[in-house]
Amino acid sequence: MGQFYTLYNVDLKVSRYRGLYLCQWIFKSSHEDIVQLLRWGSPIVLPKRIDQYMQKGKKVVQRAALLKLPNELLEMIFDELIGDMGFLSLSVTCKDLLAFSKSQLPKFYRWSQPQWGGCRIICLGEDTDRLDQLPQRLLLRRERDEIRADLTESRNVYWALESRYETQGWFQQHITVKWLNRIDDDLSNGVYDEHDGYGHEKDWGLFNAILPHPAHGHDPRPLPGGPEVLCNLEKREYVRKDGLSLPPCVTLAHALFVQTIWSASDNVGIRCEDSVRDRIKQGPWAGDSVCITTVETLPKIRCVEEYFQDDEAEKKEGSEEDGEEADRAGREAARRAWTDVTAEVDSVLVHLFEQDPRSLEDLVNEGGMLNPLLMRDLGEMI
């Protein structure tokens, strides 16, 4: 089976697929939720459920003075609540407030679902014991000191990260199961709408209509403007989605996984040839900043090192105008020098799926969704 692996977002200090063997999850889903999190500048599309919910049932008129406030004041109130779960509670007070809050919901979704684009990502194996076994540029000095303080004889680097990073499962970072259970308990303990008689089911239906998490959240949409690419903001490398030769259910998330797997041992737990194992056991992108964008926008993206280069350039004084122009031209040329590694990544994915053809067959037949039995077994771990 191999060793346990966990997908870490180092910048947000959250994790996914915590403590599972790679063969249990990496090829069992299309992982569209990861793709959506990595999309840089992805437009927010509100769920159709909101309009469907507002069109059915009776309309209850809010009798309090809240709706008598000018729209400008209501907008200010919603703005203040963007970074709080109170935004959701106020939105579902009645259909009028839900309709008013629709223009603000995209901001709330951005808060409740922090995007992963531009963050450091690594799929770390439990056999990683020491800090010097991590990718050299993965952690800042402060972060290394924090992890070092957590190390004990029975807790290695992998388990230190496990204890420090928050699990980000089906519910996103700020939408917690505890919070949802509290709402459910409150609604079950006598909260009842005397005006229309729907009671608990209708109250919960309002929350359920706009909850922003993968099972009930906004509809994911591809980025406009051409083929999507998974790009490494530190190495200036990218993988094209339209360059992957496997069925569409194999996504850029799979490319991310094989590029960011990292462990100090060879025991990856996936059937593959030795040459492929040597390549993926310490993936070339492990710990790097990544995002999903489009081919057309690649030349406009600034890489991590360019910010440091620009900072150094600003410290120089007395440069001649011609020299400054040459520096700007050189930086612009560097920004446009991206390397396409699609063929290399595609060959690895093809090989891995060839070693386990049943996984690909199941993935295609199930439309890229996790097998229901697998979901039952994994429970809240993902």
Contacts with 264 (C-beta within 8 Å, 6 or more apart), sequence order: 125, 127, 128, 129, 130, 133
Q: Is residue 107 part of a domain?
A: no
Q: Is residue 243 part of a domain?
A: yes
Averaged pLDDT for residues 92-102: 80
247 and 291 share one domain? yes
153 and 59 share one domain? no
Q: Is residue 193 part of a domain?
A: yes
278 and 187 share one domain? no
190 and 139 share one domain? no
Contacts with 346 (C-beta within 8 Å, 6 or more apart), sequence order: 239, 243, 244, 245, 246
156 and 193 share one domain? no
pLDDT on residue 28: 81
67 and 156 share one domain? no
Q: Is residue 313 part of a domain?
A: no
Confidence band for 335, pLDDT divided at 50, 70 and 90 = low
Q: Is residue 330 part of a domain?
A: no
59 and 145 share one domain? no
- Say which residue, 217 or 135, is predicted with more confidence: 135
Q: Which of 184, 210, 236 is the last residue of a domain?
A: 210
pLDDT on residue 244: 95
pLDDT on residue 217: 39
pLDDT at 221 over 50: yes
pLDDT at 378 over 50: no
> Domains in the chain: how many in total?
2
pTM: 0.69
Q: Is residue 271 part of a domain?
A: yes
- What is the domain extent for residue 72? 48-101+176-210
257 and 289 share one domain? yes
DSSP 118-172: TEEEEEEETT--SGGGS-TTSS-HHHHHHHHHH--SS--HHHHHHHHSEE--SS-
373 and 271 share one domain? yes
pLDDT at 374 over 50: no
Of 46-50, 261-265, 353-357, the least confident = 46-50
Chain segment 159-174, per-residue pLDDT in tens: 988 888 876 544 444 4
82 and 13 share one domain? no
Confidence band for 375, pLDDT divided at 50, 70 and 90 = very low
124 and 160 share one domain? yes
User: What share of the chain in percent tops pLDDT 70?
Assistant: 65
Q: Is residue 317 part of a domain?
A: no
Strand, helix or coil for residue 263: coil
120 and 77 share one domain? no
Q: Is residue 322 part of a domain?
A: no
pLDDT on residue 128: 93
Averaged pLDDT for residues 200-205: 56
